[in-house]
Structure 1
């Protein structure tokens, strides 16, 4: 297989891995946050004790967890689907080009 074809295949595999990782992240987010919301009273008692039920703000940690994690998930989506750092893609392309050139030079000397 030519190096350019191999490069394209490796890049496609890496891209699929990134997308698969993002979907796993979404799945974990949904499962854990659904469980937390359904079991919020029990979770609050487990983490903060029975006295926490007298304070309605004690359960806010569950919502903040979802907000913060949701923000991280949004950043992950933007990184995977290429809407934020166009410069990262250009940097990757330059690094791959440099590595391929180095490999070609080393092949000449072998």
Structure 2
């Protein structure tokens, strides 16, 4: 997302203006009128609506990206409005340097909490699977022993046991071929690669 600087030192995304040009007809006969103004602590980018006739409808990915990025910077939401004749995007004003560190730290803390919560849920799921294996398998062994001489209990013991082992390796981040936490190391490598 590109930014331009306004008179009051706010950082202003240029993406809504680019989207207006991208999705509307712009000719000498049908000029595109873009208004940029401040209203209620929001930077508003508004344009007259004269949509291009395209074969494939817009996916809205650009607007979703703007909304997601603003969620990282502000608790206030991006507002998008569309009428028959006008399209408006209202963005929370972000004062440079004020509250960014606190917002960023809060975002990172929430991410860490979410990741830790997901890991705890995954561990609970694994232990539930392991306990079920340890309780059910002896029952199956007793049934097998009392009903037939063929040791069919070996099949669920091996199959389910293999599943429990794979589940445990997945939960605790161990890969027998690539080592522990290989996925996180690979992600970190790609994040540090400027050419990726």
TM-score, scaled relative to structure 1: 0.62
The yes-or-no answer on 1:40 pairing with 2:144 is yes
Q: 1:77 to 1:24 in 2, by over 3 A?
A: same
TM-score (norm 2): 0.36
Is 1:10 equivalent to 2:117 in the alignment?
no
Task: Say whether residues 1:22 and 2:126 are aligned partners.
Answer: yes
Task: Report the alpha carbon displacement of residue 77 of structure 1 after superposing the two structures with TM.
Answer: 0.8
- Indicate the SS of the match to 2:124: helix
Post-superposition shift, 1:15?
0.4
1:67 aligns with 2:158: yes
For structure 2, the residue ranges without an aligned partner over 5 or more in a row are 1-102, 192-196
1:90 is displaced (CA, Å) by: 5.6
How far, CA to CA, are the matches of 2:156 and 2:116 in structure 1?
A: 33
- Structure-2 residue corresponding to 1:101: none
Question: Partners of 1:40 and 1:81 in 2: how far apart?
Answer: 33
Higher helix share: 1
Q: Cα distance, 1:39 vs. partner?
A: 2.1
Q: How far apart are residue 60 of structure 1 and its match?
A: 2.6
Post-superposition, which runs of at least 4 consecutive aligned residues in structure 1 deviate over 3 A?
89-93
Superposition deviation, residue 36 in structure 1: 0.6
Contact residue 144 and residue 152 of structure 2 kept, 8 A: no
Higher RCO (Cα < 8 Å, 6 or more apart): 1
Aligned length: 81
> Could you say if the C-alpha distance between residues 32 and 76 of structure 1 is closer, same or farther in structure 2, counting changes exceeding 3 Å?
same
Shift of 1:41: 4.0
Unaligned runs of 5+ in 1: 45-52, 98-110
Say what the alpha-carbon RMSD is for the aligned residues: 2.5
- Identify the structure with the greater strand proportion: 2
